[in-house]
Structure 1
Amino acid sequence: MYATAAAVVVVVGMLFAYHANLLLDRSTATDRARSDRQAEKAVDREQPAFVSTVTPRDYDRDTPDAAAVLLDRPLTEGEQATLTAMNGDVSRVWGFMKPLGGRIVEHASHVAPREDGNRKRGQAQTFDLNLNSDRAAGLTINDMTAVKDSCRAPTAQTVVNIPPSGAESRQGLLWDLTGGPTDKPRGPYVLDEGESQGELYFRRNVVELGNGQSNMAFRIQPEVSTHTCEWHLVASYTDTSGSHEQRIPSGTGTFTTEAIPSQPVQYFERVPGTGWGCVGTMSQQGCTATEFLVLD
């Protein structure tokens, strides 16, 4: 009899504990769910808002039709003869100059931005910028501003120029960094063909990232003129916690865009349909078009 009574007490106790826990779970479920969501959001916000990946243009595979190649020393007489024996094809000139330490700078797009007072385009070194976010919550980039960290006079001693034969438009975004360190950058401007060409990109567009959105990729064309500049981007974005900024590249990294010196030691230019024009400290071997060369 005592054993039966004890068993009943145990069963009743277990039932009471079960129902008490069930009531407690139900009464605290909302608070726990809210706490879990807040914790998930906090962990999500600990991740970088987005990651930027920069890929320089591969000039070996994607050589522009018109460009200048810069070198930090004068060409020897033999190297000059090799150069001026070429027909001015950029890929051949680049193949010859790259092993010597050459660097390509592109002629910036001839499609001048509509609201940019700069009608004389400079030089550019394009790269691809990829933006991606692993955040569960979405974010919106509504502006990207270029900031000059420093600018200096270009130092190349040799310039080999293959000028464009006509107007050329390229896809992507252009930042105008022309001028010296006190000249404020402008842009980005749309270079793609279409009715928005030459307009400020963020006037009509935003970049949506996170929340399962696909990454965003841009071809960037930074333009300089009289100065070689170190610079970076500041992206302004909003998320559920407010407005923020993020630096591109992260940390203290910078981009470098090199300008063509106005008076290099040696200057070679392929005059269309005529030959090579040569100015500076050099022999005139192969320079049959020097008299036709027009320098700004």
Structure 2
Amino acid sequence: MVVVAGVLFAYHANLFLDRSTATDRARSDKQAQQAVDREQSAFVSTVTPLDYDRYLPEAFTVLLDRPLTGGEQATLTALNGHRERVWEFLEPLGGRVVEHASYVEPFEDGNENRGHAQTFDLNLNSDRAAGLTINNMTAVKDSCHAPTAQTVVTIPPAGAEPRQGLLWDLTGGPTDKPHGPYVLDEGEPHEGQLYFRRNVVELGNGQSNMAFRIQPEVTTHTCRWHIVASYTDTTGSHEQRIPSGAGTFTTEAIPSQPVQYFERVPGSGWGCVGTVSRQGCPATELVQLPTPPTHRPVPG
């Protein structure tokens, strides 16, 4: 009987202890889970260059870091301006595509700057259990310098079709403040509006990832830059850099005085300016060296 009584006493004592401490243990476990959750990065950003082998803009320029040889010039001018074949030839030589500005007028804040862009896809994803809200993204220039490409190939010399996504104005030099991001959405009434004036990005807590097509535009300077994302969660307001660490994006400008300049004039053939062979360039008198888009300082 003594043994039975002791067992029953121990059982009920443990049961009482479990019940009396259950709330504290649950609270402690929840706090530990939240602490582990907050140790993770708020969100992860993934940058993907556009695949121009699958999608090539109607109007674009290719930049190269060296002049084309005589044989390469002959090959280029023999391609008759076929967009895909020109890119297929120049890409292995180190060519980079620069897209002509999509047409957006006017921007919501009165900004009139337009430049040339190197577009990329930005994907944001969070594995956090708790939700977070990105309420602003700001572009920050790290450095800007004169464009260094030596060869410029343009097909054709006209504007490009609009593209959905977000546009940042990085035009001008290192002291010119970036503006945006603006909405790019052809034919929609909110095109040209400041995106974060009316929108936020919800991540974490099982939310789907958020994908943006980013179109940063420059004029006279090639710029290295990054994004500062401002977000809030249950602990308050924070900021996170995109890309992480000391990473930057680079957006190239088209030089106004390249060593070689090739432009396909519709209906007239190639025009070739600079240190180039004039053979295969019947439209040379119809082209001029590229002029950067107009940059006007924007108040604020």
When normalised by structure 2's length, the TM-score is 0.92
Q: CA deviation at 1:58?
A: 1.1
Residue 86 of structure 1 corresponds to 79
Asked if 1:206 is matched to 2:203, the reply is: no
Q: CA deviation at 1:89?
A: 2.4
Whether contact under 8 Å (2:66, 2:151) holds in the other structure is yes
d(CA) in 1 for partners of 2:213, 2:203: 18
1:111-151 deviation digits (Å, cap 9, x = unpaired): 24513655452211111111111111000001111111111
**Which residue type is aligned with residue 251 of structure 1?**
G
d(CA) in 2 for partners of 1:163, 1:186: 28
Residue 42 of structure 2 corresponds to 49
Residue 22 of structure 2 corresponds to 29
Q: CA deviation at 1:255?
A: 0.7
Asked if 1:253 is matched to 2:241, the reply is: no
Q: CA deviation at 1:90?
A: 2.2
Whether contact under 8 Å (2:59, 2:160) holds in the other structure is no
Whether contact under 8 Å (2:100, 2:160) holds in the other structure is no
**Which of 262, 265, 270 is the equivalent residue of 1:268?**
262
1:216-272 deviation digits (Å, cap 9, x = unpaired): 111111111111111111110000000000111111111111110011111111112
**Which residue type is aligned with residue 185 of structure 2?**
D
Residue 298 of structure 2 corresponds to none
Within a 5 Å distance, the mapping from 1:61-140 to structure 2 comes to 61-112=54-105, 114-115=107-108, 119=112, 121-140=114-133
- Residues 166 and 234 of structure 1, relative CA distance in 2, 3 Å threshold: closer
Residue 60 of structure 1 corresponds to 53
d(CA) in 1 for partners of 2:229, 2:249: 15
**Which residue type is aligned with residue 146 of structure 1?**
A
d(CA) in 2 for partners of 1:253, 1:69: 24
d(CA) in 1 for partners of 2:110, 2:61: 24
d(CA) in 1 for partners of 2:153, 2:109: 28
- Residues 167 and 83 of structure 1, relative CA distance in 2, 3 Å threshold: closer
Q: CA deviation at 1:108?
A: 2.2
Q: Which runs of 4+ in 1 moved over 6 A?
A: none
**Which residue type is aligned with residue 224 of structure 1?**
V
- Residues 190 and 222 of structure 1, relative CA distance in 2, 3 Å threshold: same
- Residues 166 and 53 of structure 1, relative CA distance in 2, 3 Å threshold: closer
**Which residue type is aligned with residue 30 of structure 2?**
R
**Which residue type is aligned with residue 149 of structure 1?**
D
Structure 1 unmatched runs, 5+: 1-7
Structure 1 range deviating more: 192-201 or 157-166: 157-166
Structure 2 unmatched runs, 5+: 292-300
Whether contact under 8 Å (2:57, 2:160) holds in the other structure is no
Whether contact under 8 Å (1:44, 1:137) holds in the other structure is yes
Residue 232 of structure 1 corresponds to 226
For the residue of structure 2 that corresponds to 1:53, the secondary structure is strand
* Structure having the higher Rg: 1
For the residue of structure 1 that corresponds to 2:80, the secondary structure is coil
Aligned Cα root-mean-square deviation (Å) = 1.5
Whether contact under 8 Å (2:37, 2:128) holds in the other structure is yes
**Which residue type is aligned with residue 274 of structure 2?**
G
**Which residue type is aligned with residue 269 of structure 2?**
G
d(CA) in 2 for partners of 1:69, 1:227: 16
**Which of 218, 225, 231 is the equivalent residue of 2:212?**
218
Residue 3 of structure 1 corresponds to none
1:65-101 deviation digits (Å, cap 9, x = unpaired): 1111111121222222221222212221111112222
Within a 5 Å distance, the mapping from 1:127-206 to structure 2 comes to 127-163=120-156, 165-166=158-159, 168-193=161-186, 194-206=188-200
d(CA) in 1 for partners of 2:93, 2:107: 39
